[in-house]
Amino acid sequence: MTEVVSIKFKQDGRIYFFSPANITLNNGDYAIVETSRGIECGLVYEGNHLVPDSKITVPLKNVLRLADEKDLAKLNANIKKQDEAFKECTKLIAAHKLEMDLTRVECSFDGSKIIFYFTSEGRVDFRELVKDLAAKFHTRIELRQIGVRDEAKMLGGIGICGQQFCCSRFLSDFQPVSIKMAKEQNLSLNPTKISGSCGRLMCCLKYEQDAYEHLIKTTPGLNATVKTASGSIGTVTDVNLITGNIMVKLEDAEFPIKLNRRDVQIISQGKKKKQKPANNNAE
């Protein structure tokens, strides 16, 4: 186990581990730390605590000191500078008639660099924009093009579930999401129902995917041939993956009966067809 401090630099950003270097920090403190981008001021998300060595990327960067009033004043000044830079860049984008949308502006803690994040459907020649921004702020200017998922993470919002975007609230990294997940979870393939505000497949499709994959392996599919506890042979006509209930048409029976996947033995999965939505007779 290794003693670390968890620190984040943006409200929607990742949480990083730092070595406390014999300094005691508490949740909500601000600390000056050494990063690959230079000296930064970050919020202590979790004070001194132990984590398994397997979660550590060595070597750990050190916490240099607790932030003092002068550091916090500098941090606030940078926030004001970011707002000013955002407004100025928006005006310059319009003046240069560039097809790009500004998303966020970040200033490094020491003021040596300002980063402008933007989205665009194609490549943008922003060389003249960079020159104008450098002349205005007299510091190093960097423009970074981001995707729509990153834009949604930065801007935040409310999803169709009524909750704040997962990417803004707790997701530190985006996980791959595929249309196959929606199919296996038996969801409507209507893009408006399975897409987030960013226009991409909803991140939450990933949350239950492992459970669905397990259920698919252990539950007879449609048209599967199964054997009941009494020894009767039948064909599966309806499936509810969540409850495990299935409708089975036994040989020589007029109507199918409801059983559970625990009550049958799969003889042959047969030719699978698209399953019906979960709110069916196999409830």
Residue 280 has pLDDT above 50, yes or no: no
Residue 283 has pLDDT above 90, yes or no: no
Whether the CA torsion 34, 36, 41, 47 is positive or negative: it is negative
Residue 181 has pLDDT above 50, yes or no: yes
Reading the block at residue 71, the tokens are 């550091």
Residue 275 has pLDDT above 60, yes or no: no
Total Cβ atoms within 10 A of residue 95: 11
The CA distance from 28 to 46, in Å, is 8
**Weakest mean pLDDT among 26-35, 192-201, 206-215, 273-282:** 273-282
The CA distance from 231 to 247, in Å, is 16
User: pLDDT tens digits, residue range 99-123?
Assistant: 999 999 999 998 889 999 999 988 8
Cβ contact 239:282 at 8 Å: yes
Residue 31 has pLDDT above 70, yes or no: yes
When pLDDT is cut at 50, 70 and 90, the band that residue 273 belongs to is: very low
| Residue that wins the pLDDT comparison between 55 and 277 | 55
Residue 129 has pLDDT above 90, yes or no: yes
The CA distance from 75 to 8, in Å, is 14
pLDDT at 73: 94
Alpha-carbon 196 to chain mean position: 11
For the ranges 9-13, 72-76, 151-155, the one whose mean pLDDT is highest = 72-76
Q: Please, what are the domains in the chain?
A: 2-67 (no CATH), 73-146 (3.30.300), 164-206 (no CATH), 219-268 (2.30.30.30)
Residue 70 has pLDDT above 60, yes or no: yes
Cis peptide bond N-terminal to 59, omega within 30: yes
Residue 104 is inside which H or E element, if any?
strand 101-107
The CA distance from 139 to 121, in Å, is 28
When pLDDT is cut at 50, 70 and 90, the band that residue 245 belongs to is: very high
Could you tell me the pTM of the whole model?
0.71
